[in-house]
Chain A
Amino acid sequence: MATQHSRSAARFMMAPAVILLLGWMLVPLVMTLYFSFKKYLPLRGGDLGWVGFENYVRFVTSSSFWPSVYTTLIIVGGVLAITICLGIVLALLLDQPMWGQGIVRILVIAPFFVMPTVSALVWKNMFMDPNYGLFAYLWKFFGAEPIQWMSQASIQSIIMIVSWQWLPFATLILLTAIQSLDGEQLEASEMDGASALKRFWYIILPHLARAITVVLLIQTIFLLSIFAEIFVTTGGAFGSKTLSYLIFQRVLESQNIGLGSAGGVYAIILANIVAIFLMRIVGKNLDN
């Protein structure tokens, strides 16, 4: 890539991909921005003209805005905490030599291939149903009153379902990271007198820092937009309405495209704030 000629050739050959990606990103973004400044009610008169920042003001002053931001952060934070902690434990276990390792590893990955809608329905009906769910039987077996999961512990239920889906992803990334740890480092620390717990704390965990960062960033991007799990379980009721679900309600249930678009712009801003925040605290793990 040294000569003038090869540089311009490279630019020319990269252009189609760059233009396609830019268009892919810019068109929806510009349309969202465009609609967010309009009063646009498809079933009640259609395009009713420009309204300036009215949609933005209405969206944030609505009583459901801050609770939805709060719910979003709780769900994202909860799922991240559970998947990373359990992911590390599972990865450590799966790294141990054992009989049937290959099959066990495939089984661990399996939940990732189940569609979100399906897994949420399975959890809702097979496990969490207060009458005939497995959890209800378990609670009754110990003589306890079954929990009404969807209404009494809606956010916890959703966190549980989403964590189950994303645990394989975290486990897989962390497992490959553990496998890349130089065995001699562990042996050296063993000779240096580090106990198993200290070896984990001083050698394995720092080694995993980069992988944990990757899991954190990728999962955050996807978790900010979870939708199906809420739609098929609580339908946004019982305080389980996230920002993306609120936008869905504004656009499709209230048929207010302008208001929903303003919400979309807020979601973009929130996602970027979270991303910058994450990059700040964990970004130093990615250089080096």
Chain B
Amino acid sequence: MGRIVLDKVVKRFGDVEVIPPLDLTIEEGEFTVFVGPSGCGKSTLLRLIAGLEDVSDGAIQIDGQDATALPPAQRRLAMVFQSYALYPHMSVRKNIAFPLKMAGLPKEEQDRRVAAAAAALNLNDYLDRRPGQLSGGQRQRVAIGRAIVREPSAFLFDEPLSNLDAALRVGMRLEISELHKRLNTTMVYVTHDQVEAMTMADKIVVLHAGVIEQVGSPLELYHEPRNLFVAGFIGSPKMNFMTGTEATSRGAHTIGVRPEHITASFDSGAWKGRVGVSEHLGSDTFLHVLDTGLAESITVRVDGEFSARHGDTVWLTPIEDKIHRFDEKGDRK
């Protein structure tokens, strides 16, 4: 249960085509993440799957059944919204039971499922509170609870963690991953945060202006980005891009090297530069090296012990077999 197939799906708002014909298959039980910069159409795509937006052209199949014209409620999907969209006037218990009540389940069955969801999500102490009395993380859990009681064939998450603070976000990320492992249900997750995408996904779909740039596992995208956009989007800090002689000597129009694939030294190396800002994370330090003549600034990851100060001269050496080569159109060579 939970195989979603998009077949030449198109979405237009008036004359503007936000999603040109797009094909995508989300396999059963897979954790798929749509990632891309804001305005790339990832949320629209999720809403098309949910049925909250009508498809302009093409078809959506869920579990082999054509769902293109089905209303949202009949698609057997559950969605967790960015704002959580909890019903403020209902207690947590009633919020979680709402989809069951709408489905007309008997009261005992409702209570049983709510109790099970509450136990799974650590919500037992809050069942009689209103959403307004809960913290962000607890609200998030209620929203997830409301989704899981329906036992849907797939979960849709629309940037569910963007309203949480950094520490809570890491915790919820783990909880959602854990939930996926336990339920083994298809999950489609939209985010603009590539860290979330990398850590949670079985499969990442990188979107840019409504077009799928690449589909693959997190490591596939990291090791073999198909084009400049994916190379620049996946990985943090960003990959360094260089054009000019360094690129042509390697038979490419543009080359890209990740900060972690460059070594820095005070004595010798391939490229000479001057240290700008250095960001200390403790375990690692990110140096922004200026005046290399290759790019405006090159980011390098060095060991946390590497003591470079602003203005110091450093030598950089890329790891040759980790260099990515791209042609004029930006595609991988």
Which residues of A are interface residues toward B (Cβ below 8 A)?
Answer: 182, 184-185, 187-194, 198, 202-203, 206-207, 209, 288
> Is B295 in the interface zone, CB < 8 Å from A?
no
Chain B residues whose CB sits within 8 angstroms of the CB of A203 once the complex forms: 87
Given contacts A182-B83, A184-B81, A184-B83, contact A192 B102 (CB under 8 A): yes
Chain A residues whose CB sits within 8 angstroms of the CB of B88 once the complex forms: 207
* A152 CB → nearest B CB, Å: 44
Indicate if the CB atoms of A202 and B52 lie closer than 8 Å.
no
Chain A residues whose CB sits within 8 angstroms of the CB of B297 once the complex forms: none
CB-defined interface of B89-105 with A at 8 Å, one 1/0 digit per residue?
Answer: 11000000011001100
Given contacts A184-B83, A206-B89, contact A192 B73 (CB under 8 A): yes
A256 to B89, CA, bound (A): 53
> Is B77 in the interface zone, CB < 8 Å from A?
yes
* B141 CB → nearest A CB, Å: 15
Indicate if the CB atoms of A193 and B102 lie closer than 8 Å.
yes
Chain B residues whose CB sits within 8 angstroms of the CB of A184 once the complex forms: 81-83, 85
Indicate if the CB atoms of B81 and A188 lie closer than 8 Å.
yes
* B44 CB → nearest A CB, Å: 13
Indicate if the CB atoms of A189 and B78 lie closer than 8 Å.
no
Indicate if the CB atoms of B89 and A187 lie closer than 8 Å.
no
Indicate if the CB atoms of B81 and A187 lie closer than 8 Å.
yes
Which applies to chain A's interface (DSSP): helix, strand, loop or mixed?
A: helix
A277 to B72, CA, bound (A): 43
* B9 CB → nearest A CB, Å: 19
A-B contact pairs, 12 of them (CB 8 A): A184-B81, A185-B86, A188-B81, A188-B146, A190-B72, A190-B73, A191-B78, A192-B98, A192-B99, A192-B150, A193-B73, A198-B102
Count chain A CB atoms within 10 A of each CB in B72, B77, B79, B85 and give the residue with the most. B85
Given contacts A184-B83, A188-B81, A188-B85, contact A193 B99 (CB under 8 A): yes
Indicate if the CB atoms of B87 and A191 lie closer than 8 Å.
no
A288 to B129, CA, bound (A): 12
In the A-B complex, list the 6 residue pairs whose CB atoms are closest, starting with the nearest. Answer: A188-B85, A193-B73, A192-B99, A184-B85, A193-B102, A206-B89
Other-chain contact of A187, B52, B102, B130, B150 (Cβ < 8 Å): B52
* A207 CB → nearest B CB, Å: 7
A190 to B146, CA, bound (A): 13
Indicate if the CB atoms of B85 and A185 lie closer than 8 Å.
yes
A187 to B83, CA, bound (A): 12
Nearest A-chain residue to B156, judged by Cβ: A191
Nearest B-chain residue to A198, judged by Cβ: B102
* B93 CB → nearest A CB, Å: 14
Nearest A-chain residue to B130, judged by Cβ: A288
A182 to B72, CA, bound (A): 18
For window 104-160 of B, CB contacts with A under 8 Å fall at 130, 132, 146, 150
Chain B residues whose CB sits within 8 angstroms of the CB of A187 once the complex forms: 52, 72, 79, 81, 85
